[in-house]
Amino acid sequence: MAPQKISGIDPSRVPRHVAIVMDGNGRWAQRRGLKRTEGHAAGEEALFDAVEGALEMGLRWMTVYAFSTENWRRPLDEVRFLMRFNESLLLRRRDDLNERGVRVRFIGRRTGRVPKRVVKHIEDTEALTANNRRMTLTFAFNYGGRAELADAVRAIAREVDAGRLRPDKIDEKTIGRHLYAPDMPDPDLVVRTSGEFRVSNYLLWETAYSEFVFTDVLWPDFRRDNLWDAVREYQQRERRFGTVGEGDAL
C-alpha cells in the first residue's frame, strides 16, 4: 500500500525509524480523578492511532517504550497491571497488526520477573508476524539501555573467552552486532510526550545522533497528528553527524 500524502510532510524525507517514549499515563489519569492504571489502558488507543498514522506516512520502523527495567520499582499493583495489560494488548491486537503487514518485535530482557506466559505470547507474536515487511513495530519491554549494553558486553566476553574473538578486534560494529535487534536502524527521531526532557535509559547506544522532539501532550491524548507534527519538526532540522553544515565548508 502506497503511503498517503500528508500535508507539510516531504514523503522523500520521512524518517526511517521513529522511537517513542510513551509517557504521562499516570498524570493523565490523576487529572481526571482516575487510577494510574486507567491511564495506561487509555494509552492503547493512542498507540494504535499512532501506528495508523505511521503506516499512512510510510514509516518503516517504529519503536515504543512500554516498560523499562526501572519500572519494576513501581507499586506491585501497577507492575502487575502493566504485565497483564501488555499481554492482553498483544493477544487482542496481533491478528490486526499481522493483517496490516506489521512485523512485531520485542527488545529487552525476557528473563527475571517477566512472567513465562508473557514471554510465550511475545515469541508467538514475533513468529506470527516475522515475514511482514510494511513496518516493524518494536516494543521495548523490560528494556534498559544500560542492561542492553551490559548484555552485549557479556556476550562479547563469552566469544573472547571461547577464543572466537580477539579483544583488539572489538569495535563499534562488534557492539552493534550484539544489541537486542542488530538489524534495527538507529532512530532518526525520538519523540517523548508529557513534557519530560530526559532519556530514561532508552536506546542509549542507538540514539547517538537522533533528533529529539518533546511535546507536552500526555500519552493517552497522543494521536497520529501529533506524530506527524513531530515529523514536520524533524524535517526542519539540519542533521550534521559531527560535520559542518551545508555551505559552511571553507
Q: Are 177 and 154 in contact (CB under 8 A)?
A: no
Q: How many CB atoms lie within 10 A of CB 125?
A: 22
Least separation in angstroms between CB 166 and ligand IPE: 37
* Angle 49-144-74 from CA coordinates, rounded to 5°: 80
Binding to Mg ion by CB under 5 A, coded x per residue (else -) over 10-39, reads -------------x----------------
Q: Which residues of the shown chain bind ligand IPE in the complex (CB under 6 A)? A: 21-27, 65-68, 71, 82, 194, 196, 198, 200, 219
Q: How far is the CB of 149 from ligand IPE (least distance, A)?
A: 17
Cell digits of residue 39:
491511564
When the beta carbons of 21 and 213 are compared against Mg ion, the nearer one is 21
C-beta of 74: minimal distance to ligand IPE in Å? 8
Q: Are 202 and 141 in contact (CB under 8 A)?
A: no
Does residue 46 interact with Mg ion by CB under 5 A?
A: no
Q: Which residue has the cell 487482542?
A: 92
Which C-beta is closer to ligand IPE: that of 9 or that of 213?
Answer: 213
Determine contact, residues 155/109, Cβ cutoff 8 Å: no
Which residues are known catalytic residues? 23, 71
Q: Which residues bind Mg ion (CB under 5 A)?
A: 23
